[in-house]
Amino acid sequence: MNILVINCGSSSLKFQLIDAETEAMIAKGLCERIGIDGSRLVYQPTGGEKEETVTEMPDHTRAIELVLEALTDEKTGVVKTLDEIGAVGHRIVHGGEKFAASTIITQEVVKAIEECNDLAPLHNPANLIGIEACRRLMPDTPMVAVFDTAFHQTMPQEAYLYGIPYEYYEKYRIRRYGFHGTSHSYVSERAAQVLGQPYEALKIIVCHLGNGASVSAVQNGRCVDTSMGLTPLEGLIMGTRSGDIDPAIIEFLAHKENLSIDEIMEILNKKSGVLGLSGNFSSDFRDLESACAEGKEEGVRAVKGFAYRVVKYIGAYAAAMNGVDAICFTAGLGENSPEVRNLICERLGYLGIALDQEQNHKRGEDLVISTPDSDTKVLVIPTNEELAIARQTYALVR
């Protein structure tokens, strides 16, 4: 069965068509600038040429229509008719406390996702627009919602409650939810396979280090803690997000700079992280690492600050699980930067970790990068959220 995986943002839409039996990707692409001038579709069948089409996309329905046309195109398409798409898997950012697992989309599920809009006002409405557009164009095709938050719903109360009046949890469900769950789940399970050990018997820390970044503690196959919180702003220092700060900074800045709450949130989400820390030099780790290698102060500050925060979370989660068997690196930076992995792991000697530098400098595959005699294993596992979504969709609709 072919599964169409859709990741719908407010003005963009990424897609992949995956053969669920062989797990091969058949085609992929994205729509950019939906509802904005200069929108374009990028489409690439596996093994074929990448095509770029600049065309009007006033809304998401038109964008999905164009994706379906590309997939069924006589010349460059990969399926003859839409009947060859057996199901659609939608990435949904926030499932609140309602969804601890993926689910077949029904009218009630759509309503329940809508009820989580307050918790993810930028993401969930866009995800819902993607669902509605697909349902309009493929009314008989089953659809599945796969939530970024679901994997983290196993966290114990002591890990998910904040130290604020309990009534705010009761009234508004303010608590830690965590994100990147599909990736943390995929990577931790894959790590157990690579190590040839039962997932249910391991203590694993997953470091998902991309533009958005989070760490999770996975004990016996269940998430017990994660660094992102009510929103993706908490935790690590990210590309442009601040991660953990003293909340009193908000009041302090509001007074000193005469800023509104909205303006401060914009700064914390879009102008902070390594971008802010580097004095606006760059949010991209490739630039920062080059600057760091040249000894430029702005690069050193950002990269060291980033790595230090990861080290602290690893320590916290090793403590939370009373030990750790494996640490996994994934996502853009985690998969591709031996330097950042070195910077982090050189401070983990107390866990009996040493890196095999030859392994650490390999690319693009599942790897154990710690030396054979390391007490705690260190792995690089390329994440594949689309495949994980396709698997979960297939499991529910087959």
Active site residues: 148
Instruction: Give the pair of three-digit tokens for residue 391.
Output: 């698997």
Nearer residue to ligand ADP within complex by CB, 136 or 363: 363
Instruction: Tell me the site size for ligand ADP, rule CB under 6 A.
Output: 13
Question: Smallest distance from the beta carbon of 286 to ligand ADP, in angstroms?
Answer: 4
Q: Kindly tell me the sign of the dihedral angle through the C-alpha atoms of 258, 265, 299, 287.
A: negative
Q: For ligand ADP, which stretch binds (CB under 6 A), given 24-32, 255-263, 283-291, 374-382?
A: 283-291
CA 202 to each of CA 30, 103, 188, 219, 317: distance values in angstroms, whole numbers, following the listed order: 37, 27, 9, 6, 13
232 binds ligand ADP (CB under 6 A): no
How near is the Cβ of 349 to ligand ADP at its closest, in Å? Answer: 24
Q: How far is the CB of 239 from ligand ADP (least distance, A)?
A: 5
Q: How many helices, marked H, and strands, marked E, lie in the chain?
A: 15, 14
CB nearer ligand ADP, residue 29 or residue 71: 29
Residue with tokens 């529910």, as numbered in its chain: 396
Which of 103, 149, 337, 393 forms a contact with ligand ADP (CB under 6 A)? 337
DSSP state of 355: B
| DSSP H helices in the chain | 60-71, 107-114, 124-137, 157-160, 166-172, 181-195, 248-257, 261-270, 273-277, 285-293, 297-320, 331-336, 338-345, 357-360, 385-397
* 243 to 282: interface string for ligand ADP, x by CB under 6 A: ----------------------------------------
List the one residue from 136, 286, 304, 398 that touches ligand ADP (CB under 6 A).
Answer: 286
Out of 160, 285, 306, 317, name the contact with ligand ADP by CB under 6 A.
285
Report whether 272 contacts 242 (CB < 8 A): yes
By the rule CB under 6 A, 336 interacts with ligand ADP: yes
Site residues (CB under 6 A) for ligand ADP, limited to 193-212: 210-212
Record the tokens describing residue 254, joined without a space: 């509001």
- Identify the residue among 32, 289, 298, 386 touching ligand ADP (CB under 6 A): 289
- State the DSSP code for 99: -
- Taking CA atoms, 214 is separated from 36, 301, 324, 372, in Å, by 31, 20, 17, 27
User: Quick one: which segment of 1-9, 89-97, 225-233, 284-292 binds ligand ADP (CB under 6 A)?
Assistant: 284-292
Nearer to ligand ADP, 277 or 397 (CB): 277
State the nearest-atom distance from the C-beta of 373 to ligand ADP, in Å: 28
What minimum distance in Å lies between the beta carbon of 110 and ligand ADP?
A: 26
In angstroms, the CA 107 to CA 335 distance is 39
Of the candidate residues 189, 284, 356, 366, the single one contacting ligand ADP (CB under 6 A) = 284
Report the residue number whose CB is nearest to ligand ADP: 332
Q: Is 31 exposed, middle or buried (0-12, 13-18, 19+ CB in 10 A)?
A: buried
Does 298 bind ligand ADP (CB under 6 A)? Our answer is no
| C-alpha of 44 from chain center | 22
**Residues near ligand ADP, by CB under 6 A:** 210-212, 239, 284-286, 289, 331-333, 336-337
